[in-house]
Amino acid sequence: MSDTTWQPGNPIVTGADYVASLRGRGLEVWLMGERVEEPADHPIIRPSIDAMAATYDLAVADPELATTVSPYTGERINRFLHVTESAADVVAQNRMQRRLGQLTGTCFQRCVGMDAINSIFSLAWDMDEELGTGYHPRFVAWLTGMHRSGLVIGGAMTDVKGDRSKSPSQQSDPDVYVHIVERRDDGIVLRGAKAHQTGAVNSHWLLVMPTLRLDPTDGDYAVMAAVEVDAPGLRYVYGRQSCDSRSMQGSIDVGNAGFAGQEALVVLDDVFVPWEHVFMDGETAYTGELVERFTAYHRRSYVCKSGVGDVLIGAASLVADYNGVPSASHIRDKIAEMVHMNETIYATGIGASHEAHQTAAGNWEPDVMLANVCKQNVTRLPYEIGRLAQDIAGGAVVTLPSEQDFAHPDIGPVLEKYFAGRDGVVTEDRVRVLRLIENMTMGRNAVGYLTESLHGAGSPQAQRIVISRRADLDEKRDMARRLAGIDG
């Protein structure tokens, strides 16, 4: 990443600006039992920062794809900060997400914030219209500031939950769901924790949201608020990922030498939020609608996995070529199946966006049914794509000696000889693509491609519940009766 002249207070434009904006914030970040002095310089954290930086660099390289004009400032902004103004805007988000998946091969961490922006925008409008609250202008004022500064907004929805059979107010420990512990004249105080928070350490702000439909007894848990990442009382415990320590051991064994995702536990230990950054305070009746709107946006956002899938398909094709069998019929068939599944993910996600509808607030949200079908596909198909990639790669994907062995003057030449592929292929190139497949299907970036595909934006059962609710079987039965000649 090149140097930058960016200074605090200036808009963030490039990836280098973004990296500079993360320095010197004094965040309390813990990783492997130690407090991290400067996250931007930690070898395990830095790849996730560089993946986020790619969202800025794409906006510079391809402004038509990754930027748009702010309705509040009149200036061009990163598309991740945009309130959708048409179905075409919703579709453009998906196209940008797939491209970034192709460029990074991992989770680039900004989708949650983008989807939270659009969900809160419409819900705050509805609450104002029906209850006379003033949340929507507050939110727009805050968002306008984000447009001027170009900051990263993260979304914080998932609570740690404790006993899943009990509601938040029934828990023996009230802090297992984020809640308001004090209301002051100038704001509120939050306590609790948010789990599995994508890109939290790499963000500038977090949008805190309730994680499920709440009962009237859960009023203190019905809170939406914008919180600065460096606010007093915030603590971050960085999540371990498979093979993440390889980032400290060279470049070949890492697999994806440039980029990685990030998850963290975010602890809110009596964090103060001024009223101008509070967008819900006790309106439990609206929490279910918030969750449904957010998950509709976010579940169709999983078209990003098709971009990551493009990389894995390319790696499988490449290793087949290095092994000398690119034209074998069974290889061609497996790769065709991988492409079919990958495009199925993209088709359902972008179909949900094409079928977007306008909300009363004026922004556009994707079709709920197709969004959930997209995410249901994502809970399954990447696993099969990954299995086929491993099948094509062969056993070496998990039995390769280390990078240090290949570099050793004595044993290295022996490995160079016996891990060679077809004539004309550099052995190191074959090793690198095998490590990439390992990384994406079992290693660090398998978190973003597989596990996140399964549990991100809700478990598979959560999507099946929505699909069942919206299936309208009565209408389908009427269609069958009419064509079968059965009276009403």
Q: Is residue 65 part of a domain?
A: no
CA-to-CA dists, residue 455 to 196, 292, 302, 387, 424, angstroms: 10, 16, 11, 19, 42
Catalytic (active-site) positions: 107, 111, 198, 263, 298, 302, 304, 452
Cβ atoms of 359 and 294 within 8 Å: the answer is no
Q: What is the residue-level pLDDT of the chain in tens, covering all 488 positions?
A: 556 778 888 999 999 999 999 999 999 999 999 999 999 999 999 999 999 999 999 999 999 999 999 999 999 999 999 999 999 999 999 999 999 999 999 999 999 999 999 999 999 999 999 999 999 999 999 999 999 999 999 999 999 999 999 999 999 999 999 999 999 999 999 999 999 999 999 999 999 999 999 999 999 999 999 999 999 999 999 999 899 999 988 889 999 988 999 999 999 999 999 999 999 999 999 999 999 999 999 999 999 999 999 999 999 999 999 999 999 999 999 999 999 999 999 999 999 999 999 999 999 999 999 999 999 999 999 999 999 999 999 999 999 999 999 999 999 999 999 999 999 999 999 999 999 999 999 999 998 899 889 898 888 999 999 999 999 999 999 999 999 999 87
> Encoding tokens for residue 187?
């704001």
Q: Are 150 and 78 in contact (CB under 8 A)?
A: yes
Its sign, for the CA torsion 236, 239, 240, 244, is: negative
Residue 111 in domain: no
pLDDT score recorded for residue 257: 84
Residue 157 lies in a domain: no
| Residues in Cβ contact with 96 at an 8 Å cutoff, skipping those fewer than 6 apart | 58, 65, 66, 79
Enter the tokens of residue 2. Answer: 């090149």
Number of domains in the chain: 1
pLDDT of residue 459: 87
d(CA 7, CA 11): 9
Residue 3: predicted pLDDT: 60
Range of the domain at 302: 295-484
Give 328-392 as a DSSP string: -HHHHHHHHHHHHHHHHHHHHHHHHHHT-EE-TTS-EE--HHHHHHHHHHHTTHHHHHHHHHHHH
Task: Output the pLDDT for position 9.
Answer: 87
Give the pTM: 0.95
3-state class of 423 per DSSP?
Answer: coil
CA separation (Å) from 86 to 12, 83, 90, 94, 355? 26, 9, 7, 13, 11
**Domain assignment of residue 430, yes or no:** yes
124 located within any domain: no
Confirm whether 458 is domain-assigned: yes
Residue 127 is assigned to a structural domain of this protein? no
Q: Hunting for tokens 């570099």 — which residue is that?
A: 407
CATH number of the domain to which 392 belongs? 1.20.140.10
Count of other CB atoms within 10 angstroms of residue 133: 16
Residue with tokens 């949340």: 135
In a domain, 402, yes or no: yes
* Strand partners for 77: 68
Separation CA 25–CA 37 (nearest Å) = 10
Whether 83 and 118 have beta carbons less than 8 Å apart is answered as yes
Diameter of the chain measured on Cα atoms:
84
